[in-house]
Chain A
Amino acid sequence: SQQGEEDPQALSIQEGENATMNCSYKTSINNLQWYRQNSGRGLVHLILIRSNEREKHSGRLRVTLDTSKKSSSLLITASRAADTASYFCATLGGTSYGKLTFGQGTILTVHP
């Protein structure tokens, strides 16, 4: 079963604009990770935020985590056409092994 729900399901913006995607989850977590997937290919790891962190940056990416609300957001600043992809959040927690539980993803389209 899917733990996370992502919002919006699809997002269409112009190049240069910022894109914000949200993720909610249900159970306690050890960390939350964001992945990108281009056209049904493999997943590319973007960023990991631990449960005791509130915000993390990596290049044009900014991730926030609110464990009290069981939610996270991914902000991509100054988007580019190459950012067009599906974005998934995945949570790790509740087991002793590394099972990631993914949301259904947000499809981001950046128009040149």
Chain B
Amino acid sequence: ETGVTQSPTHLIKTRGQQVTLRCSSQSGHNTVSWYQQALGQGPQFIFQYYREEENGRGNFPPRFSGLQFPNYSSELNVNALELDDSALYLCASSRAQGLVHEQYFGPGTRLTVT
């Protein structure tokens, strides 16, 4: 197992609500990335945080936002939930080493939107 933890494990929300997912990165890692994995698909990159700033974003609308804290933990916030937001949300931490970026994933948060 990696040292990356995520909470909660499972979450059920209603369409239109807001959700916050949390991630603690592995010790020594200063970069956190978030991915969305729909059932039967590979993970899709949402965004990445490095030293508390967003430094890259995938093709996700602004209602997906995030934060990184001084201890490098991170939050993913999703506003105005839609049914299609139902997915496994994965965070991954890495030690920014130029372009190597070996990422270590947490166990994920399973979000169900009804």
Contacts and interface: CB of A to CB of B under 8 A. Distances in A.
Interface in B89-113: 90, 92, 94, 96, 99-108, 110
B42 to A, nearest CB: 3
A25 interface: no
Contact of A45 (B45, B55, B103): B103
Given A41-B107, A43-B43, A98 B59 contact: no
B7 interface: no
B42 A105 contact: yes
A67 interface: no
B58 A44 contact: no
Interface string B82-94: 0000001010101
Given A42-B90, A100-B33, A92 B101 contact: yes
Contact of B99 (A31, A43, A90): A31
A47 B106 CA distance: 17
A100 B101 contact: yes
Given A1-B59, A40-B88, A42-B107, A98 B101 contact: yes
Nearest to A101: B45
Interface string A35-74: 1000011111100101000000000000000000000000
A43 B36 CA distance: 12
Contacts of B110: 40
B48 interface: yes
A77 interface: no
A98 B33 contact: yes
Contacts of B4: 42
Contact of B43 (A41, A92, A102): A102
Interface of A: 1-2, 4, 30-31, 33, 35, 40-45, 48, 50, 88, 90, 92-93, 95-105
Q: Which 8 A-B pairs have the closest CB atoms?
A: A98-B101, A102-B42, A97-B56, A43-B105, A42-B107, A30-B99, A42-B105, A99-B45
